[in-house]
Structure 1
Amino acid sequence: MNDGPLQLTPAGDRHLAFARDLTRRAMLPYYQEFDLLWMEEAFDQAWCWREQWLVTEGDQVLGYCSLSQDRHALYIRELHLLPTHRGRGVGSWVLEELAVWAASRRLPLLRLMVFKSNPARSLYARHGFVEMGEDECFVRMQRTIVLSQ
């Protein structure tokens, strides 16, 4: 990491095609493995109601994350990095940053779902996420956020 500090910066509609393409390329092998249908329309609809953030380093875009929340949790709906930026600690930084965000929003949980066969499960476990349940394709994971008084 050398082009400046890592940041999460707001993503707008002009970033939709980038995010959709990155997500499709990252997730298509899992969709095929579990015989699921990738639907671009569903991605585009979710883009409108979720919080969208670019993962940046200086002026370079490394990936993006998509969030939602309810009264109890901040949900990581998507977290994808360009292949050249994986394995550099960027994903770890994003997870820790989102834990800080959850605490600042007074949300006691950080939650996500991951495909059962996705090796990112071990990254999430290293960052305090525990498996809460699973179905045929996905594992639900959550991390408890310690809220200061």
Structure 2
Amino acid sequence: MSFELRRATVEDLSFARELTSQNMLRYYIEFELPWQDHAFDVAWSERQNWLIVRDSVPVGYVSLSRDMRALYIRELQVAEAFHRQGAGSWAIDQVIDIARGERRPAIRLTVFENNPARSLYERKGLQVQGRDECFLRMQLDISTPVL
């Protein structure tokens, strides 16, 4: 079974919000951060969002933004039933391909310091660049071969 990316639409917002809340609420509680549906919805509308689909069923999503310095993974969420089945690793590979295609110099993301996803990011080559309160800032430098 393989995965595919499908451009997310407004109709996918509730799926993404619920999935993110299920996956991340424990960290918000642990670090005493407020979860706000409205803030999530506003952020969603300002980003490029892709569903991770397997056999026509959404199993997760990746949310991206950009500037001249990097392609940013703002969210990468996979439903718990699909953890450890390669969806997150596959999605990062897709983001790397997007960054290379756009000739972005780097991929950046922020992750809770105690989130096990950190080990996936490290396996994919992202390195910790700094800390902010309960978060780690991670980056993968993209080298674009010169033709």
Give the alignment's TM-score, normalised by structure 1: 0.95
Q: Hey, what does 1:125 align to over in structure 2? A: 122
Q: Which runs of 5 or more residues in structure 1 are unaligned?
A: none
Deviation by residue 1:99-127 (Cα, 9 ceiling, x = unmatched): 01100011010010000110111110000
Using the alignment, how far apart are the partners of 1:26 and 1:101 within structure 2?
25
Q: Hey, what does 2:100 align to over in structure 1? A: 103
Q: Hey, what does 1:137 align to over in structure 2? A: 134
Letter in 1 for 2:106: L
Letter in 2 for 1:52: N
Using the alignment, how far apart are the partners of 2:93 and 2:44 within structure 1?
23
> Aligned-pair distance for 1:8?
1.1
Q: Hey, what does 1:8 align to over in structure 2? A: 5
Using the alignment, how far apart are the partners of 2:144 and 2:101 within structure 1?
8
> Aligned-pair distance for 1:7?
1.0
Q: Hey, what does 1:40 align to over in structure 2? A: 37
124-133 vs 88-97, greater mean Cα deviation: 88-97
Give the alignment's TM-score, normalised by structure 2: 0.97
Using the alignment, how far apart are the partners of 2:95 and 2:62 within structure 1?
10
RMSD of aligned alpha carbons: 0.8
Using the alignment, how far apart are the partners of 1:65 and 1:89 within structure 2?
14
1:79 to 64, 76, 80: 76
- 4+ residue stretches of structure 1 with deviation over 4 A? none
Deviation by residue 1:109-147 (Cα, 9 ceiling, x = unmatched): 001000011011111000000000002110000001111
Letter in 2 for 1:74: L
Using the alignment, how far apart are the partners of 1:86 and 1:98 within structure 2?
18
Deviation by residue 1:4-46 (Cα, 9 ceiling, x = unmatched): x311110000000000000011110000110100011110001
Q: Secondary structure at the match of 1:122?
A: helix
Using the alignment, how far apart are the partners of 1:27 and 1:103 within structure 2?
29
Letter in 1 for 2:16: A
Q: Secondary structure at the match of 1:21?
A: helix
Using the alignment, how far apart are the partners of 2:123 and 2:109 within structure 1?
14
